[in-house]
Structure formats: structure tokens, C-alpha cells
Amino acid sequence: MSLATTIKILECSTSDRWIEQALANLDTILLDHSHCERKAAGIAINMMFRYPSFRQLVKQLTAIAKEELEHFEQVNQWLDKKEIPLAPLNSPPYGSKLKAQIRHQEPDRLLDSLLVSALIEARSHERLGLLGEHCPEPELAKFYRSLMASEARHYGMYWVLATQYCERKVVDKRLEELSIIESEILSTLYHEPRIHS
Ligand SMILES: [Fe+2]
Ligand SMILES: [Fe+2]
């Protein structure tokens, strides 16, 4: 899936202010990225606990969780290389605000969970791409570019799962609603540098 295809689902592109904030704080961004990869694996695993008999979902989310843990390990190797301790970091409001959009009744809950994850993956893809393009450290920039394709694939997998369990027109309508909210959340730059600030 190309960058353009993925970004089409995002209501608004990332602002230059985010890129400036990220480039001025590359170490914090790398640490936050480590937390993001661990959380991405956790979200996939948690969904398998909630829907253990949904065969397609379990199959796809197993693959995603494995890949996110590999990314987690790779980012942690970068932290080691740069002697950045794997310290806790408070999260920006992005994830909790998106999670608050997930409705409680099924099958809405399943659909919203899949689409929120799809949007997070699409945004990660976009922002890792920007880091890959603008990061002044060539090796680190190359690393960011190497992760982009998987994040785009993850976006696609969550979207395909949504269409497997829900009607296409319902998926399209809800994705449109959520993508507007996702862009609104990011319209105010969070004061601390984060992948999703
Ligand atoms: Fe990842
Ligand atoms: Fe991902």
C-alpha cells in the first residue's frame, strides 16, 4: 500500500509544527516510539482476548502483535545505541481520546476498536515517513523509513478486518466520522514531543 493510499484516510496531514517539535527532540521521540510499539502489540493481544473465537481476527492480530514486538525490540536497540534509558513517559491525550470514541455495545465496539487501530496505524505510518524524510541522522532516518511499510500494512489489515465483520457502508461511514475526530485531536499540538503529539 502506498503512502498516498494510506494518508487518504487521514482527514488532515501532519503540520510542520509537529515536524519541527519532533526534530528538536529526537531522543524523546525515540523513547516515545518504543512505548508506542509496545502499546501497539498490547492492543492487538487485548483484542484477541476479547474475541478469542474470531478466526480471521486472531490470525491477523497474531501477525500484527509479533511484528509490533519486533519493532519494539528494534527501537530499544536504538535507545541502547544512543544510551537513552528505557524510562517511563507520560502519554499524550491522543490514545485515550480515541479510545473514548469506542462505543460499548457490540458489534459497534468491534468496529470502532478496529477502526481506531487502523487510524493510529495510518497516522504512525505518516509520521514515521516524515521522520524518515526529515531526520538529519541518515541511519536513523533509514530506520524510520524501514518501518513505514509495516505500519501501512497494519492499517490495511485492521481495515480489511472491519470490512470482514461489518457491512462496507457502515465501515466507510464510521471511518469518516472517526478520521475527522482523529484529526481534530491532533489539531492542537501537544506541548510535549510525542509520535502522536
Ligand atoms: Fe510498529
Ligand atoms: Fe503497527
Q: At what angle do helices 108-134 and 138-165 cross, to 10 degrees?
A: 160
Structural domains of the chain in order of their starting residue, each with its CATH number: 3-186 (1.20.1260.10)
Q: What is the pLDDT of residue 2?
A: 44
CA of 136 to the centre of ligand 2 (A): 24
Do 51 and 110 touch, CB atoms closer than 8 A?
A: yes
At residue 107 the predicted structure's pLDDT band, cuts being 50, 70 and 90, is very high
CA distance 194 to 91: 8
Q: What is the pLDDT of residue 131?
A: 98
Nearest ligand (C-alpha, residue 157): 2
List strand residue ranges (DSSP E) for the chain, in order.
none
CA of 40 to the centre of ligand 2 (A): 6
Mean pLDDT across the chain: 95
pLDDT at 1 over 80: no
In what helix (H) or strand (E) does residue 67 lie, and over which residues does it extend?
Answer: helix 55-81
CA of 74 to the centre of ligand 2 (A): 13
Do 180 and 78 touch, CB atoms closer than 8 A?
A: no
Nearest ligand (C-alpha, residue 64): 2
Buried b (16+ CB within 10 A) or exposed e, 66-104: ebbbebbeebbebbeeeebeeeeeebbebbeebeebbee
| Region at 22 (left for phi over 0; alpha for psi -120 to 50; beta for the rest) | alpha
Tens digit of pLDDT for each residue in 130-146?
999 999 999 999 999 99
CA of 64 to the centre of ligand 2 (A): 7
CA of 29 to the centre of ligand 1 (A): 14
At residue 119 the predicted structure's pLDDT band, cuts being 50, 70 and 90, is very high
CA of 49 to the centre of ligand 1 (A): 20
pLDDT at 50 over 90: yes
- What mean pLDDT comes out for the span 19-36? 98
**Which 8-state DSSP code applies to residue 87?**
-
**Of 121, 168, 141, whose CA–CA distance to 113 is shortest?**
121
At residue 191 the predicted structure's pLDDT band, cuts being 50, 70 and 90, is very high
Residues near ion ligand 2 (Cβ under 5 Å): 40, 121, 151, 154
- Dihedral angle at the C-alpha atoms of 21, 98, 65, 59, nearest 10 degrees? -150
Q: Count the neighbouring beta carbons within 10 Å of the beta carbon of residue 178.
A: 21
Residue with cell 475526530: 181
Do 196 and 24 touch, CB atoms closer than 8 A?
A: no
Q: Would you state the cell numbers that stand for residue 8, as one nine-digit string? A: 487518504
